[in-house]
A and B are shown apart, each in its own frame.
Chain A
Amino acid sequence: MHLFNELTNYQQPSEEGYYGQYGGAYIPEMLYSNVETLKNQYLQIMDDPAFKAEVAALLKDYVGRPTPLFYAERLSAEIGAKIYLKREDLCHTGAHKINNTIGQIILAQRLGKKKIIAETGAGQHGVATATVCALKGMECVVYMGEKDIERQAPNVARMKMLGAKVVPAVSGSKTLKDATNEAIRAWINEPDTTHYIIGSVVGPHPYPDMVARFQSVISAEMRTQLEEVTGSPLPTHVVACVGGGSNAAGAFYHYLNEPTVELVAVEAAGHGVHSGMSAATTQLGSTGILHGSKSIVMQTKDGQVVEPHSISAGLDYPGIGPLHAFLYASKRGTFMSATDEAALKWAFHLSEIEGIIPALETAHAFAVLPEMNLKPTDVVIVCLSGRGDKDLATYMQAMDLK
């Protein structure tokens, strides 16, 4: 097929947004104008020195970047390797998601947009979007699955307090997939004035590339920080959980073209990869189209998208960004998975041995460390994508059961 773009540079999709055979923009004509404008302008806007300066200043003074790279001593001793934690949980609003929303809100302003819509799973992206909308005085509507509204109540309250309108998505599985459908439909219905801030490296081109670029600040900092403490910017492994894949894309970005660095993506196995209640997309999915891009999708043999399961709302998604699909297919990435149970166990364990309560999503990344056959000389960075406050209800339930 002509679409195959043999990448040598993993950071750069083709003109049409393809990473290998994955990507593209499979959107109805009603979205063409908006997406085309974005496609034609995002690189130019993001390269503009004034834009860069504005983003950098907010990331520093508002988000609190750079986030620390913390050497986890007790965890390192237990695992038998040097383990560093990239503390995205210390970002304002409690997760990496705000790196992207800061960039996109300023971009939306440059595009002359007045209103922002977003989808959210765990609520972290919704909160990060509501936050920057408050900061910039823009109207904000967040679509969230009805089921997620229940299990992430604190984040719903935060969004409302920040002035956003939270609209429940009641179709399908009532989770992130359906919230994304609703946000896209809302965008179709008012394309002129509205910008859609997608929360992960998914969606039609140029979103996957644009979001990866905004999140790439994570690995840009990791390189500098690691070099300061070890003398080399290169770890042996970078580990991150993957829902759509934005924290992983950010943590991998400046290592994508460094073949010695092993990139470990951790998917949510739910009750177990083959239990029928899982969200391990690369293990269970096949090539398909979801939310405007060709990627790996969990689907029936008839091409209907299936409802995934994960205890963590942020990983409860039947797709994966096209960059990650390509990392998987090309074997540049190592894909592992962690069950609900393992994630819960690690959320408690990390709290107990490092004094850090992680988000449930993030806990998946830690759960694979014992299975990685690490050596004492290995230098591992785990992307600690978010903090666990939003998951306290789940954690409290787990404690009651103990």
Chain B
Amino acid sequence: MSRLTELFEQKNKRVLNVYCTAGYPQLNSTLEVMGSLQKNGADIIELGMPYSDPLADGEVIQSSSLVALNNGMTIDTLFDQLATMRTSIYIPVVLMGYMNPILQYGFENFCIKAKSLGVDGLILPDMPLYEFEQIYGKIIQDNGLDFIFLVTPETPETRLRKLDALSSGFLYAVSSSATTGTDKDFSKVAVYLERLKSMQLKNPFLVGFGIKDKASFDAVNIFANGAIIGSAYIQALSKGNNVETTTKTFLERVLSN
């Protein structure tokens, strides 16, 4: 059973997935950030592989990606850093990134290597369904990785069911059509989340984009199995000067009762 599946069997409410950019704020802070996230209550870590042209990302994640690239982060360097990951990180880790750097690395080699390091799944927002079915889905599956598709309020039902069927681990429900880090009115999102909940999907679903604090985390948890926080955490990291204290303060607020 995959770490993600196992997690959701034990906990299917208020699951918190936090995004961080590999190589940010410093080239070598990747594992430190991941360790702090685990220690302070994150259930899943979504580790972003920086890319020069991140189409789905808003300014905050764009700029953290740029810093990470300028710090010298590459897939090779990241894999070197992750070599010792599983000696300290026991929660699920999914890699988020864009297709192009992975194609240059070699898609299959990438999957083999990621799996061997203890990575659990992949989120690739620009992976088309067609190419997934034709080529990449099988490679991902053969290597025992979960793949998490994104769905939006505009995704038609038949497509949504298909994306759910092809995903494993969880499904990524984008709160509304937007890039990351955009503010949301969660009363409007509720209708969509209620619909998702009523669909009896195969996978649990986590809501992402615009979740930034306790209020937004609580709001989506009425319907969802949990949520994904990205830009708000990166912003906190960019302002704080100590990873552990910044992370602790940030997650305490989000998770407080």
Contact = CB atoms under 8 A, between A and B. Distances in A.
A334 interface: no
A25 B135 contact: no
B90 interface: no
A28 B150 contact: yes
Contacts of A61: none
Interface stretch (A71-79, A217-225, A286-294, A335-343): A286-294
A228 interface: no
Interface of B: 51-53, 55-56, 58, 62, 66, 69, 74-76, 98-105, 125-128, 130-131, 134-135, 149-152, 154-156, 159, 163, 174, 177-179, 182
B103 A29 contact: no
A181 B55 contact: yes
A302 B126 contact: no
Contact of B69 (A29, A287, A304): A304
Interface residues on chain A, size class: 35 or more
A305 interface: yes
Contact of B53 (A33, A172, A188): A172
B203 to A, nearest CB: 15
Contact of B126 (A1, A181, A289, A297): A289
A287 B150 contact: no
B59 to A, nearest CB: 8
Contacts of A286: 104
A189 interface: yes
A12 interface: no
A1 B156 CA distance: 29
Contacts of B128: 24-27
Given A185-B179, A302-B104, A303-B103, A28 B53 contact: no
A191 interface: yes
A351 interface: no
A289 B155 CA distance: 23
Given A30-B56, A30-B178, 13 more contacts: A24-B130, A26-B128, A26-B131, A29-B149, A29-B174, A33-B177, A177-B53, A185-B179, A188-B178, A287-B103, A292-B55, A302-B104, A302-B105
B105 to A, nearest CB: 7
B154 A302 contact: no
Nearest to A180: B53
A288 to B, nearest CB: 5
A28 B74 CA distance: 22
Interface in A163-195: 171-172, 177, 181, 184-185, 188-191
Contacts of B154: 30, 32-33, 191
Given A29-B150, A191-B177, A302 B125 contact: no
B174 A288 contact: no
A312 interface: no
